[in-house]
Amino acid sequence: MKPFLYLDNAATTQMDPEVFESMKPYFMEYYGNPSSIYQVAQECRRAIEDARQEVAAVIGARPEEIYFTSGGSESDNWAIQAAAQANRKKGKHIITSKIEHHAVLHTCAYLETQGYEVTYLDVDEYGIVDLAQLRESIRPDTVLISVMAANNEIGSIQPIAEIGKIAREYGVLFHTDAVQAYGHIPLDVEAMQIDLLSASAHKIHGPKGVGMLYIRKGVKLMPLMHGGAQERRKRAGTHNVPGIVGFGAAARRAQAGMQEAMERQSRLRDYVIGRIETEIPFAILNGHRTKRLPNNAHICFRFIEGESMLILLDEAGICASSGSACTSGSLDPSHVLLAIGRPHEIAHGSLRLTLSDAVTKEDLDGAVEALKGIVARLRDMSPLYEDYLKKQQEDAYVQ
């Protein structure tokens, strides 16, 4: 493989070497089933409990409130379906936002087919939910509020503490999809009054295929998987021991380095956004300027389309992503960009760059240079740009 610059850390991250080291003994040495009685299994049990502690510490939770799953999507599915189920005597109304991950939106859509009603909160032009609308949407039969901690596309950070406060005030369960936020920005389930929280290991330099659901003590949820006593009888299935150990190590790493990473990455983020905005015409920042994930830059380039941009970036050795229709298999533009009011043709030319600790300023300088050429080249090809220039000329002529 050719060397490449990886700027798609919201999609997944490279595993940290120390995390990998911590996992190794649990493949061939300590391979026992943690549910068994002999000593090799005991070591596995101990390792799982250590990991549980470390994963819990990141969000100020107690270890017994952490339930390991196969990842963020499973956690989201579980939290929402089980919370709806458990409270169906109270009502069948759920509140979420228009910019949630599909793991949340599609679960809600499924529940709609089962007789539930779902309110999808609007967001403002920066992609932040409207608290007044949240308050107005709560009804006596509302059983769950699910709002993500930070958006996976445009990085906007939601007012989670305020949402938690409102939810508690009305006695409604509050779930947050923290897959992008966990280990990246401070979260505290007590201070923010969060009842359920989903997170995933591979977004913080841990392994793929493992995540967790935090369930506040006292909140009753049905298991999603049946068939074993694992995870306090709530999530059956033999533990993914190396994965869980890796998650613990990644959580420890993220927690220890969070402050420094936040400062460094937000500086680089603002630097790359600044360069793009000043050096590439018709570039529009998506999301909030400061209330955004430290590693997220998301920009629309007018008159061009995202997939072509990504393929050309890839040719230049740069991995990035786009909320564009053509890349995701579905042809519709990103629901997040539409929700913040971007018209279709602008939403199509979007680019998401997400950083990690490994990314340097020089890397970003290289990316901006490549991007400048690519955007110019695609605009040269674009009938929309041609029309725009002609219109400019005509307008100038009229004046």
Partner 1 sequence: MYSEKVMDHFKNPRNMGEIENPQGVGTVGNAKCGDIMRMYLDIDEDGVIREAKFKTFGCGAAIATSSMATELVTGKTVKEALLVTNRAVMEALDGLPPAKVHCSLLAEEAIHAALWDYANRHGIVIEGLKEPVEDIEELE
By the 10 Å C-beta count (0-12 exposed, 13-18 middle, 19+ buried), 329 is classed as exposed
Is residue 258 close enough to count as binding ligand FES by CB under 6 A? no
For residue 304, the partner it binds in partner 1, ligand FES, none, with Cβ less than 5 to 8 A by kind, is partner 1
Least Å distance, CB 387 to partner 1, is 9
Handedness of CA 10, 148, 247, 357 (dihedral sign): positive
φ/ψ region of 266 (left if φ > 0, alpha if ψ in -120 to 50, else beta) reads: alpha
Q: Is 345 in the site for partner 1 (CB under 8 A)?
A: yes
Q: Can you tell me which of 331, 395, 396, 398 binds partner 1, judged by CB under 8 A? A: 331
Nearer to partner 1, 42 or 328 (CB): 328
Given the complex with ligand FES, which of 222 and 311 has the nearer CB atom?
311
- Residue entry with tokens 């549980």: 52
| Cβ distance to partner 1 smaller for residue 218 or 329 | 329
Residues 351/370, Cβ–Cβ less than 8 Å: no
> Which backbone phi and psi does 227 adopt, to 5 degrees?
125, 10
User: What minimum distance in Å lies between the beta carbon of 398 and partner 1?
Assistant: 22
Q: Is 329 in the site for partner 1 (CB under 8 A)?
A: yes
| Type of residue numbered 356 | S
Contact with partner 1 (CB under 8 A) among 21, 315, 365, 369: 315
Find which of partner 1, ligand FES, none residue 17 binds, CB within 5 to 8 Å per kind.
none
The partner in contact with residue 308, picked from partner 1, ligand FES, none with C-beta cut-offs of 5 to 8 angstroms by kind, is partner 1
Q: DSSP secondary-structure letter at 237?
A: S
Residue 174 binding result from ligand FES, partner 1, none, given CB thresholds of 5 to 8 Å by partner type: none
Instruction: Figure out which of the listed residues 40, 311, 358, 389 binds partner 1, where binding follows CB under 8 A.
Output: 311
Residue 63 phi, psi (nearest 5): -55, -40
Q: Pick the catalytic residue: 44, 108, 319, 326?
A: 326
CA–CA separation, 254 and 101 (whole Å): 23
For the chain, how long is the longest CA-to-CA vector? 88
**Overall residue count recorded for the chain in this entry:** 399
Please state the φ and ψ torsions of residue 37, each to the nearest 5 degrees. -95, -25
The least distance separating partner 1 from the CB of residue 263, rounded to whole angstroms, comes to: 38
* Contact pick of 305, 318, 321, 374 for partner 1 (by CB under 8 A): 305
CB 329 → partner 1: shortest distance, Å?
6
Residue 32's alpha-carbon distances to 35, 44, 68, 192, 254, in angstroms, are 8, 7, 18, 38, 28
Q: Which amino acid is at 388?
A: Y
Contacts of 277 (CB under 8 A, 6+ apart): 283, 285, 299
348 binds, among partner 1, ligand FES, none (CB under 5 to 8 A by kind): partner 1
CA-CA distance, 98 to 384, in Å (whole number)? 29
Picked from ligand FES, partner 1, none, the partner binding residue 78 (CB below 5 to 8 A depending on kind) is none
For partner 1, give the closer residue by CB, 170 or 385: 385
What pairing do the DSSP bridges indicate for beta strands 5-6 and 318-319? parallel
Nearest 5°: phi and psi at 117? -110, 140
Choose, by CB under 8 A, the member of 125, 386, 392, 393 that binds partner 1. 386
Compute the least distance from the CB of residue 12 to ligand FES, in Å: 25
Site string for ligand FES, 321-340 (x = CB under 6 A): -----x----x---------
- Residue 301 in contact with partner 1, rule: CB under 8 A: no
The residue ranges of DSSP E strands in the chain, in sequence order, are: 5-6, 66-69, 93-97, 117-121, 142-146, 173-177, 196-200, 211-215, 283-285, 296-301, 318-319, 350-354
**Is 326 tagged catalytic?**
yes
325 binds partner 1 (CB under 8 A): yes
> Which residue minimizes CB distance to ligand FES?
326
* Subset of residues 100 to 129 that bind ligand FES, contact rule: CB under 6 A: none
117 binds, among partner 1, ligand FES, none (CB under 5 to 8 A by kind): none
Is 40 one of the binding residues for partner 1 (CB under 8 A)?
no
Contact residues: ligand FES, CB under 6 A? 326, 331
Positions in the binding site for partner 1 (CB under 8 A): 303-305, 307-308, 311-312, 315, 325-326, 329, 331-333, 344-345, 347-348, 380-386
Q: Which residues are designated catalytic?
A: 326
